[in-house]
Chains A and B, each alone.
Chain A
Amino acid sequence: MHLTLRVWRQKDAWDPGGFQTYSTTDVSTDMSFLETLDLVNEDLILKGEDPIAFDHDCREGICGTCGIVIDGHPHGPLPATTTCQLHMRLFNDGDTITVEPWRARAFPVIKDLVVDRRSLDRIIAAGGYISVSTGRAPEAIAIPVPMDTTEMAMDAASCIGCGACVAACPNASAMLFTAAKVAHLGLLPQGQPEGYDRVLNMVTAMDDEMFGACTNTGECEAACPKKIFIKWIARMNRDHVMATILSRPTTRRAHGVSSRAALTDR
């Protein structure tokens, strides 16, 4: 198969960047998209040119490292597919494919197709964990949790943190990511005690990172390789309203939250 790739090249965060065109032959339909980029890079290295930088690791669709906008779609046009899972059988001989990095203010480009996604970590660091001490119960299966609840929590926890939802969103919002993290712990009994603080702090952290707001476009759900439901956003919004009304924040990331809560605090 012969393909033409228009690839975004950018030396570093300060370089304005631009598209460069590469043509490649010998692409087999059994190759993954990343293997096609490998092929282009082998060629570039032989020619003594700088290979295209792109993130990748497990290449089995679970680690969340890879992420490229392909023809305008994060992870390519197939639903529920990571870039490493995208195979060339989807394309036709002679196609021209446009390849870009995630584009969002909160994800600065490091080089070419590699972006800095640590802003997502900082959202988690604001409350995406259980810090109440639950001790070590003597009997592991003595505290039952309804199977449906676990399944729902697991669906939410399936987020691999790739950032495709942000890249797909016209507002570059991280609502789907944050909502999935909030829902995962918020559904489980051990996540209840800190539930309100968690949602307030994580949403504040998300805003602080300059992610945009949600306007219910739904592109995030369509782009998500792990089928995270948009309904988690509704759930988070509900939790956030409740938390704003009821909570008396006590945690370390109380700034920005306390003023809002103070209005309702007698």
Chain B
Amino acid sequence: MVVDVSSHDVLLVGGGGAGLRAAIAVAEFNPKLSVAVVSKVYPMRSHTVSAEGGAAGAVAADDSLDEHAYDTVSGGDWLCDQDAVELFVDEAPKELLQMEHWGCPWSRTPDGRIAVRSFGGMKKKRTWFASDKTGFHMLHTLFQTSLKYDPIVRYDEWFVTTLLVDDGRVQGVVALELMSGKIQAITAKAVILCTGGCGKVFPFTTNANIKNGDGMALAFWAGAPLKDMEFVQYHPTGLPFTGILITEAARSEGGYLVNKDGYRYLQDYDLGKPQPEPVLRSMELGPRDRLSQAFIKEEERGRTIEGPHGHVVNLDLRHLGEEKIDSRIPFVRELCRKYQNIDPVREMIPVRPVIHYAMGGVHTNKDGATPVEGLFAAGEVACVSINGANRLGSNSLPELLVFGARAGVAAASFASDQEAPSSHVMAQANDERRRLEERYLRKTGGTERIATIRKEMQATMEEGAGIYRNGEALQKSTDKLRELQDRFQNILIEDDSRTFNTELTSALELAYMLEVAASIVQCGLNRTESRGAHQRTDFPGRDDDNFLAHSLVYRNDDGSSRIEYLPVTITRWPPSERVYGK
């Protein structure tokens, strides 16, 4: 049996914020190009929908692009490429305004202007927001806007299993239609990966179940390097057990973080002195890496609260009052009431750090292009890098707009003068179908359970690559992951049905995650310094002499991998100390 094929000019993998923004950019750049959006979920279910707090863009009278750039660079512990950051802060407000023109209901001030709120690590108020459902409103706006372009064709609930590469050029994908189980080739002259992050390699995360690092693994297998994978962000305020995020906006509106004695403990960790009103770049509005690290120190001192699901501290919003909570952060109240059965108007919210974001990803340039011809990436799956060693809250939504649009234009421009995909890729597509059938669908006799391997992977990631790391634990995780890779070859697949075979997709996702997890610990082990979200207890200082550089992990032909380092681009802000609370 030969696989079916459909052909387009530009193909997007992922239909979230970055994917839809890129699709619109392609359609606007060249209306003659046919655009395919291939997503394993219906686009409106993409994880952009969960973003709450807001999107940064310097527009206030007292703000400037330079200040936004400096906050981003220092927040990223000088691992950001400053040329990319300068471009990003310049384009961010324009993109946010474009969203306004497309109908995004940004919150406004009483005099009718765009309202901006403060956010962690930002020295000025510059975070645009739509209540505390910013990602939801942005995604709806992008989705509804994408529906007006006829050349955009959607493949909803299609799962991409591999990239088709011939002659060093990416020329499409093989995908599985979940509803029918059909395996099909979808060829294209350019492919943009917009699959988001990989939070699910860890046990406790704000990320949805669909965040398995799909695009990272696909790119890696196609020959593109992954960059700065060791930098994984813990968000300081997640609800215990569910991992549901309590947005940073709760703190920017004035929430306090207190330990078991009701003490605002952040004052003990070089983050400033407590004031009744929120102070920018200080205390609860410090950067996420520092706040999460402070939690661990506080736990070591025995000053956290023991709960049924591990230690927590409290987020106190009671002094804000019901009116402010309902008008500025209503979703926080809704989440607490529905999932935690508490009312933040009257009770404190138990929180603990939770895996939230991957600073690293597929290595791209400022146009979203990877080193592999015809392959682009944008959004969390990519690493440009504007986030460096620690992303600031509210930089990721504008990032997916700015770089989604840039990648869309670059891919459209590339596709406009490319030949149609070569016939060789069809042979590859048939090989891929055979691989899927032999390794998964018709596989018999395995003994390893998918859920067991996944659980062990998540446990070893938390053990080795948590908030504080050391060489010994990272080495142990490396060994463990290698063992899990071997055991994965012997997995048990009982479901041989074609319709919505979730066991098959779980197995494919586990393969992606094992690859991504290995790159995280490998880069973490190799980076013998502490910077931003990567804290080594055995190498506590930042080492600019050796590590003012991006980690690039490449796949060797024999399946092993190697790490190379690429110097950070410094334009105007030479490395210095990160100072908060002053």
Contact = CB atoms under 8 A, between A and B. Distances in A.
24 contacts: A58-B47, A58-B49, A58-B208, A59-B208, A60-B242, A61-B335, A61-B338, A62-B331, A63-B44, A65-B45, A87-B341, A128-B147, A136-B97, A137-B97, A140-B57, A145-B112, A146-B108, A147-B108, A147-B112, A150-B107, A154-B137, A158-B133, A184-B103, A190-B101
A74 B317 CA distance: 33
B210 interface: yes
B147 A146 contact: no
A128 B144 contact: yes
Contacts of A60: 50, 242, 244, 335, 339
A129 interface: yes
Contacts of B341: 87, 89
Q: Across chains A and B, which 10 residue pairs bring their CB atoms closest together, nearest first?
A: A144-B112, A134-B101, A85-B338, A141-B113, A154-B105, A125-B147, A57-B45, A140-B59, A150-B108, A153-B105
Nearest to B335: A60
A188 interface: yes
Interface residues of B, number: 55
A10 to B, nearest CB: 13
Contacts of A145: 108, 112
B94 interface: yes
Nearest to B41: A57
A161 B144 contact: no
Nearest to B57: A140
A196 to B, nearest CB: 16
Nearest to A122: B147
Interface string B316-348: 000000000000000100110011010000000
B65 interface: no
Interface of A: 32, 50, 53, 57-65, 81, 85, 87, 89, 110-111, 121, 124-125, 128-131, 134-137, 140-141, 144-147, 150, 153-154, 157-158, 160-161, 181, 184-185, 188, 190-191
B98 A136 contact: yes
Contacts of B103: 129-130, 184-185, 188, 190-191
Interface in B435-455: none
Interface of B: 41-42, 44-45, 47, 49-50, 57, 59-60, 93-94, 96-98, 100-103, 105-114, 130-131, 133, 136-137, 140, 143-145, 147-148, 179, 208-210, 242, 244, 331, 334-335, 338-339, 341, 497, 499-500
A125 B107 contact: no
A148 to B, nearest CB: 9
B529 to A, nearest CB: 36
B137 A157 contact: yes
A129 B186 CA distance: 28
Given A124-B147, A128-B144, A62 B57 contact: no
Given A129-B103, A130-B101, A147-B111, 12 more contacts: A59-B208, A60-B242, A64-B45, A124-B144, A125-B148, A128-B144, A146-B108, A147-B108, A147-B110, A147-B112, A154-B130, A188-B105
B50 A63 contact: yes
A187 to B, nearest CB: 9
